Amino acid sequence: MRQSRIAAGACSLLLAAACAFAAPARAQAPRTVAGGYVALGDSYSSGVGAGDYEASGKECKRSSRAFPVLWAEAHAPESFSFAACNGAGAKDVLTEQLGHLSARTGLVTLTVGGHDSGFVGVLATCALGGAERCLSAVSRSRAAMDGPLSADLDRLYTAIRNRAPAARVVVLGYPHLYHLSGSCALGLPDGERATLNDAVDHLNAVIARRAVVHGFTFADVTGAFAGHEICSSHPWLHSVDVFSITESYHPTAPGQSLGYLPVLARAS
Task: Give me the catalytic one of 179, 250, 257, 268.
Answer: 250
Q: Give the integer Cα–Cα distance in Å for 157 and 171.
A: 10
Q: Give the integer Cα–Cα distance in Å for 62 and 197.
A: 26
HSE (CB half, 13 Å, CA atoms) of 32? 4
Q: H-type helices in the chain, by residue range?
A: 2-22, 43-46, 67-75, 90-96, 119-128, 130-144, 150-163, 190-213, 222-225, 253-254, 261-267
Asked whether the CA dihedral 114, 118, 120, 124 is positive or negative, the reply is negative
Q: Give the integer Cα–Cα distance in Å for 251 and 39.
A: 17
C-alpha separations of 97 from 42, 102, 155 in Å: 11, 12, 14
Task: Give me the catalytic one of 12, 43, 100, 150.
Answer: 43
Q: Is 43 a catalytic residue?
A: yes
DSSP state of 255: I
Instruction: Report the candidate in 42, 45, 30, 41 with the shortest Cα–Cα distance to residue 256.
Output: 45
The answer to whether residues 39 and 45 touch, using CB atoms and an 8 Å cutoff, is yes
Q: Is 238 a catalytic residue?
A: no
Q: Which residues are catalytic?
A: 43, 250
